[in-house]
Amino acid sequence: MKKIFVVILCVVGGLLFGGRASAASCVDIEFMFARGSGGVHVENVEYQAFVRTMTKMANRIGMASYRFTDVDYPAVSVSVPANAIGAYISAGKYYAFGRSVTSGVDWLTDYYNKTMRNCPTTRWVLAGYSQGAMVIAQAVQRFRADRVIYIGLVADPQTNLPEGRGLIPDACLGRNYSPYRVFVPVCRTDKGRLGARNPYQYGDLAGKYGLWCGRNDYVCGSTASPLNNSGHTQYVDAGSYMQMSYLVQQKLTTSTSPVMRSARTVASDAELYAFLNQDEFFARPEDEVVISAEMSFSTNSQITTYEWAIDDSDYAVGDAVLRMSFPLGKHQIRLKIRDAKGLTAEAVAQVTVADSFMDEDLPAPLVRAERQADAVYFTWHDVPERAQYLLVRLNGFDLDYVKADSLVVGIHDLEINDQDTLSVAWMDTDFNVGAEHMVAIKDVEEVEVLSHEQTLQPKDTDAESANAPQTGVNMSDVFLLGVIVILACIFVIVIKNTRHLRDG
C-alpha cells in the first residue's frame, strides 16, 4: 500500500511541479522574464516589477489571457570572485557564468518549443535583466519572429551602441541612435563589460528590441569604473519597466492579433512619465543638438503640451523634439510635459559646448609604436594623474579610446599605408583632450616579436565588421578582481582557523 501511495504521489507531483518547461494551458501572451545574477527565483525585485507593470498594462487594454514565467536557470552570482573572473575573461561564454547562461537558453528554448507545439497561436513578450538579458538575447534567436511581440533588455552586459564611440560621438549630439536604444542617458555608452553583441538585433526580429542602460552601470558600460556601479540596481525606481510596459502596449494595440477583449481601456489609472533621450550632451558651437522627449508617455491619457526652458528662461510651449545650437558654456535644459488629465512631469539635461575639447595642460603621451603585419601597437607606462583615457586618431579622424591604465592598444584591420599618420592623446574624465603625439606610419618600426606580452583590441570603428562579442582584459579590472579573490581567501582561512581554535 505504501508503494502505491508513493507512486501516486510521484505522478501527481510530476503533473503539478515537474516539467516546468511545459505549458499547462494555452494563453494569448506569454510574458517571459530572465532574472539577473544572484536573483532569487520569482522573488527578485526586477521580476516583480516586470509582473506588476505588465499586469497593469494588460488590465488597461483588456487583454484576454496571459501568463508570467520566470526563466528557471541558476543565474549564478558574480559576487563570487571566481564567477566574475570567469565571466570577464571569457566574455560570458564559459566557466560557471557561461554554463548558467547556456542553461537558461536551453530551458527557455525547451519551454518555447513545447508551448508552440500545443499552442501555436501564442505570442511572446520577453525581458531580461543583466545576466538574464544575455539569456533572452541568445534564446530568442530560436523563436519564430512573427510570434514575438517585444524583447526588453535591461543592463545588458553585451550592450552595443556604435553611436557612443569617438571624441564627440553622434549620441552626444542626439543623432543616429541605434533603433533599439530606449533609455541610455550617458551618450558615450558604447558596449557592455562582456563585449558588444553584434549584430545586436537578430534577423527578422529587428525592430522588436529595446535596450535600457542607466547612468553609473558598469555592467552595461555606462561607466568605466567597477567601483561605481550604483546604477545597476536603479531600474525599478527609474521607471524602466513601466516604460517597457508602455512600449509593449503600443505593440499590442497596433497589432491585428485578437489579444484583447476590446480596444477601449478598461482601467482608470493614469501615470505620466517624462523622459529625455539623454541627461548630458556635448557639442561645438556650430553643432545642432537634438533633445527628444518622444519617449515620454502617459499610461492612460494623452500628452497635450511639451514646454521647454533653457537656463534661466521661462517655459515655452514647443514640440516633442528640441533642435538647436547652443553658445559656449554649460546649459541646463528643462522639460515639463502635461497630459489631458492635468498631470505634469519634468526632466532635466545638460549641454556642454566648447570650441575644442583640447586641454594643453595634459601633456602628449610618451608611447612606443610597433608595427606587425596590418596592425600598429602603442604601449606606454607613465600615465598622468588626470588622464583617464587614451584617444587614438588616424589622419585626424577619431578612431576610438581606451582606458589609460590599459598600457597597450592595438589598431587592427585598417588599410594603413606609409602616407598615413596616427596620433594619440590623453583624455580626462570630462573627455577634455590633451596634446597629441603624432606618429607617421612610415617611421613605425616593424618587428617580428612585439615588446609586450598582452595586446588589446580597441572598439570596432565599424559595428558591421565583427560577428561576435569583443572583449579586452583591462588590467585595472583584473587587479580589482584579484584583490577580491585574495580577500575572500583570507576570509575563508580566518573562519577555518576560528572554528579550529573553538573546536580545540
pLDDT at 170 over 60: yes
Percent of the chain with pLDDT over 70: 80
Burial class (CB in 10 A: 0-12, 13-18, 19+), 83: buried
Identify the three-state secondary structure at position 309: strand
Contact residues for 6 (Cβ-Cβ < 8 A; gap 6+)? none
Alpha-carbon gap, residue 410 to 424, rounded angstroms: 12
pLDDT at 498: 45
Residues of the chain with CATH 3.40.50.1820: 18-253
Q: Would you state the pLDDT for residue 374?
A: 76
120-148: pLDDT as tens digits: 999 999 999 999 999 999 999 999 999 99
Q: What is the per-residue pLDDT for 236?
A: 94
Determine the pLDDT at residue 150.
98
CA proximity to 349, closest of 334, 336, 338, 337: 334
- Cis omega (within 30 of 0) on the bond before 258? no
Q: What is the DSSP string of 483-494?
A: HHHHHHHHHHHH
Instruction: State residue 485's pLDDT score.
Output: 52
For 49-104, how does the pLDDT look when each residue is reduced to its tens digit (9 = 90+)? 999 999 999 998 888 899 999 999 999 988 777 777 777 667 777 788 999 999 99
The predicted pLDDT at position 326 comes to 96
Average pLDDT over residues 335-353: 94
Contact 73, 135 (CB under 8 A): yes
What b/e readout covers 435-460, taking b as 16+ CB neighbours within 10 angstroms?
ebbebebeebeeeeebeeeebbbbbb
pLDDT of 486 reads 55
Give the residue among 166, 123, 167 at the shortest CA–CA distance from 143.
Answer: 123
Give the range among 58-62, 172-176, 477-481 with minimum mean pLDDT.
477-481
Reading phi first (left if > 0) and then psi (alpha if -120 to 50, else beta), residue 153 is in beta
Q: Please provide the CATH number assigned to the domain covering 272-353.
A: 2.60.40.10
pLDDT tens digits for range 227-265:
778 899 999 999 999 999 999 999 998 754 443 332 233
Ranges in the chain annotated CATH 2.60.40.10: 272-353, 368-463
* pLDDT on residue 114: 96
What's the whole-number mean pLDDT along residues 372-397?
A: 84
Residue 461 has pLDDT above 50, yes or no: no
Per-residue pLDDT at 448: 77
Q: Alpha-carbon distance 473 to 159, whole Å?
A: 17
Q: How far apart are CA 140 and CA 142, in angstroms?
A: 5
Instruction: Take residue 199 and report the three cell numbers written for it.
Output: 549584430
Q: Which residues neighbour 91 within 8 Å (Cβ) at sequence distance 6 or greater?
A: 158, 194, 195, 469, 470, 471
- Report pLDDT for 412: 75
Whether the Cβ atoms of residue 163 and residue 179 lie closer than 8 Å to each other: no
Class of domain 18-253: alpha beta
Tell me which fold the domain 368-463 belongs to: Immunoglobulin-like (2.60.40)
